Structure formats: C-alpha cells, structure tokens
Amino acid sequence: MADKPMSIIKTQLFSENQVLRQVLGICSALAVTNSMNNSLVMGLGVSFVTGLSSMTLSAMRNIIPRRVRMLVQTLIIAVYVIFVDLTLQAFLPDISKQLGPYVGLIITNCIIMGRAEAYAQSNPPIPALIDGFFAGLGYTGVLLIVSLIREVLGFGTILGMNVNFFGFETWTIAIMPPAAFFIIGALIWGLSARAAKKTVATTK
Amino acid sequence: MPQISPIVIFFASIITSNMILSNFLGMCSYLSISSEYKTATGLGMAVTLVLTLTTFINWAIYHFVIVPLEIQYLSYIIYIMVIAAFVQILEMAMDRYTPDLYAKLGIFLPLITVNCAILGVTLFMVIRQYGALQSLVYGLGSGLGWWLAINMLAAIREKLKKAKLPPGISGPAISFIITGIMAMAFIGFSGIFTIQ
C-alpha cells in the first residue's frame, strides 16, 4: 500500500499539516517563533530528525517487539536529536544558545512520535522517509509564517534585515508569549472554518 | 546567578515563568485534556508529582554520574530513560500501595513520559546551574504552575460549552486564544520576580 510520493508530500505540507490541522508539535512552534532565523534552523532540525527516525523505525519495524516499541522509538529519536544538537553547537553556536533547551525538546515533539506510530509503523522505509521529512517541512512552513508576522511587528525586520521603512512603533507584545498564542490560534481558526465550509458545501 | 533564593524560584516558576504561559511547555496534553475540570485536576496533580521528583533525580544524576564520567553528550538519552523508568516505577508502586490514588491518576501516568514540560524543566535546571534545593523547588513550582494553568483553561472551557461560538473556532483555536489572554494577564506580574 505504498502511496505515491507526490500525494504524501501534498498531504503533509497542506491538507494534513501537522501543526495547524493535527495540532501537534505546538510547544516549540510557539517558543522559537520570535525570529525567523531561529524558526528556520529549528524547522530544518525537526525535518531532519522526523525523516531519518521514521526511516530507521520503518526499516526496523518487523524486529522491534511490541512491548518495548515506545522505548526503542524514543531512543532512536534521541540519537538523531543529539546529532542535531552537537552539529548546531559546533557550527551555529549563537543560534544554538538562543534555542537553548528547545533543541533537546525535539525528542518529545509529538510530530515525530505521531509519524512513527501512524505511518512508519506500517510502511516501507523510503515512503516513511518522505512522509517524515515533509511533515517536518510542513511544520517549518507554519513556523516561518508565524515568525514572519512576529518579527515584522516586533522588531521591524525580516531575517535580521530592516524593513521598517515608515518608522512605525514596533509592538513589543508581538515578541512576547501572548502574540504566539493569538497568531497560531487565528491560523487554526481560519483553516478549520474553511474546512467546515467545504464539508457543508459537499454535503448539500 | 546560581545563588537565587529558593523562595524566589518557587514563586517565579509558578507565576512569572509559568511553564505553559511563558515557556510553552507541555502544550499537547494541556490542549487535549482540558475539556473537563475534574480530569484536568487529576492530570495536574500527576504532573506536579512527577515533575518534582524527576527534576530532583535528574539533578542528582547530572551531578553524580554525568559530570564525573564526562558523558554530557549522552545526557538527553539518560534524562529520558530516567523519566520513563521513574513513571513506570511510580505507576507500579501506586497500584500496590495506594489503589485509590492510582484509580484517580493511573490513566494519566503513561501520558506524562511524553509531556515536554518534564524534560524541559530538567534541561532548564541544568542550563541555569541550580543547586539541590533550588532544583527541588523549581520542579515543584513548575508543576504547580502547570496545574494552575490547565485548571484555569478547563474551568473556562466548561463555561464555554454553553456559549454560542463562530464556526471553526471551537476546539484548539479558542483554547489558544484563551491561553493568549491568560498569558497577557500573567505578564502583569512580571517584574515582581525574575529568574532567567
């Protein structure tokens, strides 16, 4: 029952986006989105870990005993997260310091566990890799949208470049926690209102 | 920085550095298990208990095992194993000695292993270099703060069941917006205590 790669990609990026439709992986999506640089690095880290751990778990799916499945999954995820963490510390020390504990917290990011349980468990390695990686990219996309809004309003910059041409007063609230809740809440609201409209239209 | 009084840490971790409202940790179970006040209370209690004890155990393991052996690169795996093992043992012990409490909290315990607040508090505690008493108090305070936040959300959501909402907003969207307003209210406390 291997799905076509394109349909997996489309599902993961848009129609079943992990953050906005499934409401998973929220912790880090809220915490790192006050600047676009951080969001980009975090998103790529999550995509990498989700893709590779899905692939590994799918390759091992027939030899892992059911009883210790969760434990094995967590350990495999932790290995990849350690890899990402050490790489960041070596090559991007500033961003690594800003992200702080949130890199380690990729281990408990529900998206990874969710993809492992829902997809990698019953599919061959290559589709699992694509599924995991694009689930991560869908997450990255949402992070970038949220951080774009927050960075422009809060600092008047995009990726650190000044775009505040009109000299408007930047909103400190946009880089504080409440703004993250409001923006993600509004995005989810918009999407589910649209989905609800569609279902009404098709049932009529 | 390491010498912040434990009392300050306790109140700061409940109010100004609340796990959910300012550090965004433990959101998954916070959103999915907050539709009823009673269940939210049970989960909050379980999280507080596990958080307090695992933070302290991880503090001891960090200082007496990880640092002497210089295996910092394995620390994530060790913390996660400690948390998983501790939750398992706690579940068995509660089942054996306090069946009443187990009946109340038992279903929540397996969920707690994957609650990011637990691992998050441990990582914050290591990064901020807290001592033994500070770690214990930080774990307890963070747990109580989490409990407070989930109970507030659950209470509001119970009232909202009777309200008429615009299409699409019920469920996660309204929870986010409520949490945003709560976070804004809690910003009002900032400046009383600071631990960063």
Over the stretch B9-35, which tens digit does the pLDDT of each residue have? 888 888 888 888 888 888 878 887 888
Q: Tally C-beta pairs within 8 A across A and B.
A: 121
Does some domain include residue A198?
yes
Per-residue pLDDT of B124-156, as tens digits, reads 888 888 888 999 999 999 999 999 999 999 999
Tokens of A136: 């991560």
- The confidence band for A204, taking pLDDT boundaries of 50, 70 and 90, is low
- List all residues of chain B from 9 to 48 with a beta carbon under 8 Å from chain A: 21-28, 31
> Residue B195 pLDDT more than 70?
no
**pLDDT tens sequence across B45-80:** 888 988 999 999 999 999 999 888 888 888 888 988
* A185/B74 touch (CB, cutoff 8 Å), yes or no: no
Contacts of B128 (CB under 8 A, 6+ apart): B1, B2, B195
Asked if residue A146 is part of any domain, the answer here is: yes
- In this prediction, residues A139-159 reach a mean pLDDT of 86
Burial class (CB in 10 A: 0-12, 13-18, 19+), A201: exposed
Nearest to B31 among A23, A85, A189 (CB): A23
Q: What Rg value do the Cα atoms of chain B yield, rounded? A: 17
Number of domains in chain A: 1
Selection from A39, A20, A6 nearest residue A160 by Cα: A39
**CA count, 13 A, side-chain hemisphere, A116:** 27
Closest by Cα among A168, A79, A178, A64 to A120: A64
Is the pLDDT higher at B114 or at B33? B33
Query: Could you list the residue range(s) of the whole structural domain that residue A33 is in?
Result: 7-203
In angstroms, the separation between the Cα of residue B16 and the nearest Cα of chain A is: 12
The reported pLDDT for the residue numbered B57 is: 93
ipTM of the complex: 0.82
Residue whose C-alpha is closest to residue B113's, from B54, B40, B165: B54
Task: Please check whether residue A179 touches B, CB under 8 A.
Answer: yes
